[in-house]
C-alpha cells in the first residue's frame, strides 16, 4: 500500500485510518476510486439521520465592527471543500459591510443579485450536503476601545473580546484564553440570579447532590476574570489585566455545534422538533 496515498486520503476526507486503508486496498491504490468510495459511504447516511452540526464558525473584523457567525453542514468533509470555504469567506466579506445583526436578516442580503439564502442553497447542491447559516452576531466597539480575536482549529471555536483601550497583543491573548478555557461569564458579579439558578440545576443534575463550595468553584472556573491566566497560571486573568491597566468591556465565544444538542437540521432562530434551541449564555 502507498503510504503517501493513505495520508492524502485521510487529510482530504477526515476518515479513519482503517476506513482509508480498506478503501485503498479494495481499489488497488486507485486514489480517485477510493476517495469516491468513502464519500459515497457518507452519502448513504440519510440526511434525516444526520445532525447538521459540522461546518465552521467565522469571525470578521472591519474598523469598529465585527461579526461572528456559524455555517453548519452534515459532515467534516466540508472544511476541506473549496466551495464551502469560498461560501464562508464570501459571507464574511459581504456581511461585515451590512447592518445585519442576526441570521434571519443576513439570509435576505443580496450578493451579486442573489440572496444569501439562495447562495447557500446553491452551494449545498454543489457539495451535496445541506448547509445552514445557523447564527450571526454583530459587535460594535466605541472610539478608543479595542478588539481582540482568536480562531481555533479552522473555525471550531472563534472568540472576540472588546477592551476599554487598544492593545492588540493583550486583547488577542485574552481572546485565546476565552477560547482555550471556555469562559462563559465575565465575572461573578456579572451573573444574574436566573443564570445562577440554571447553573445550580445543571450542577445537581450532573452530581446528583449539591455542595456549595464545589459549586462555587465550578462556577468560578467558567468566569473569565477568575480563571488562571493560561500563559502564567500563578496569576488570574483579572490580575494580568490590572498589570497592563486594561479592562474587558465584553466578550463572545462561538463553538461549532454549540447548543444543537443532537437535534436535526437546526438553526438557532427557528423551532426544531417542537423545541427552541438554546445556547450557553455569553456575557
The CA–CA distances, whole Å, from 45 to 27, 48, 64, 164 equal 22, 8, 44, 49
Mean pLDDT of 135-152: 98
Alpha-carbon Rg for the chain, nearest whole angstrom, is: 21
DSSP-derived secondary structure letter, 189: G
> How does the average pLDDT of the chain come out, rounded?
87
Quick one: average pLDDT of 13-32? 84
| CA atoms of 198 and 251, how far apart (whole Å) | 21
Residue in 92, 11, 20, 260 with CA at minimum distance from that of residue 1: 20
pTM, two decimals, is 0.76
- Residues 35-69 have pLDDT tens digits of 888 877 655 543 445 567 899 999 999 999 999 99
* Residues 6+ positions from 39 with CB-CB distance below 8 Å: 13, 77
Whole-angstrom distance between the N-terminal and C-terminal Cα of the chain?
52
Q: 160 vs 10, 150, 240, CA distance in Å?
A: 32, 7, 18
So what's the pLDDT on residue 43? 53
CB neighbours of 84 closer than 8 A, spacing ≥ 6?
Answer: 55, 71, 73, 78, 123, 127, 131
pLDDT, tens digit (0-9, with 9 covering 90-100), for 198-232: 999 999 989 998 999 999 999 999 999 999 999 99
Give kind and range of the element (H or E) at residue 230: none
- Range with the lowest mean pLDDT among 44-58, 110-124, 245-259? 44-58
Q: How far is residue 42's CA from residue 40's CA, in Å, rounded to a whole number?
A: 5
Helix (H) or strand (E) holding 277: none
* Residues whose CB falls within 8 Å of the CB of residue 141, separated by 6 or more in sequence, listed in order: 64, 65, 66, 147, 162, 249
Pairing of strands 132-140, 65-73: antiparallel
Amino acid at each position: 500500500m502507498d503510504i503517501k496515498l493513505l495520508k492524502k486520503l485521510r487529510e482530504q476526507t477526515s476518515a479513519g485510518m482503517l476506513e482509508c486503508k480498506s478503501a485503498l486496498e479494495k481499489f488497488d491504490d486507485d486514489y480517485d476510486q477510493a476517495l469516491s468510495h468513502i464519500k459515497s459511504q457518507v452519502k448513504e447516511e440519510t440526511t434525516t439521520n444526520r445532525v447538521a452540526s459540522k461546518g465552521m464558525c467565522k469571525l470578521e473584523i472591519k474598523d469598529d465592527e465585527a461579526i461572528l457567525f456559524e455555517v453548519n453542514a452534515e459532515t467534516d468533509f466540508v472544511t476541506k471543500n473549496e466551495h464551502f470555504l469560498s461560501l464562508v469567506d464570501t459571507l464574511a466579506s459581504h456581511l461585515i459591510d451590512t447592518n445585519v445583526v442576526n441570521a434571519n436578516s443576513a439570509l435576505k442580503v443580496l450578493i451579486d443579485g442573489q440572496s444569501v439564502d439562495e447562495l447557500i442553497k446553491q452551494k449545498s447542491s454543489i457539495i451535496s450536503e445541506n448547509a445552514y447559516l445557523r447564527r450571526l452576531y454583530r459587535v460594535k466597539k466605541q472610539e478608543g476601545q479595542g478588539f481582540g480575536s482568536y480562531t481555533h482549529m479552522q473555525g471550531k471555536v472563534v472568540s472576540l473580546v472588546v477592551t476599554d483601550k487598544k492593545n492588540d497583543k493583550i486583547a488577542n491573548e485574552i481572546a485565546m484564553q476565552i477560547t482555550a478555557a471556555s469562559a462563559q461569564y465575565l465575572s461573578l458579579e456579572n451573573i444574574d440570579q436566573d443564570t445562577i439558578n440554571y447553573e445550580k440545576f445543571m450542577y445537581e443534575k450532573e452530581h446528583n447532590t449539591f455542595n456549595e463550595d464545589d459549586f462555587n468553584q465550578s462556577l468560578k472556573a467558567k468566569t473569565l476574570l477568575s480563571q488562571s491566566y493560561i500563559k502564567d497560571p500563578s496569576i488570574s486573568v483579572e490580575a494580568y489585566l490590572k498589570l497592563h491597566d486594561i479592562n474587558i468591556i465584553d466578550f463572545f465565544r462561538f463553538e461549532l455545534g454549540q447548543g444543537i444538542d443532537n437535534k436535526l437540521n437546526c438553526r438557532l432562530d427557528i423551532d426544531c422538533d417542537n423545541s427552541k434551541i438554546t445556547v450557553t449564555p455569553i456575557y
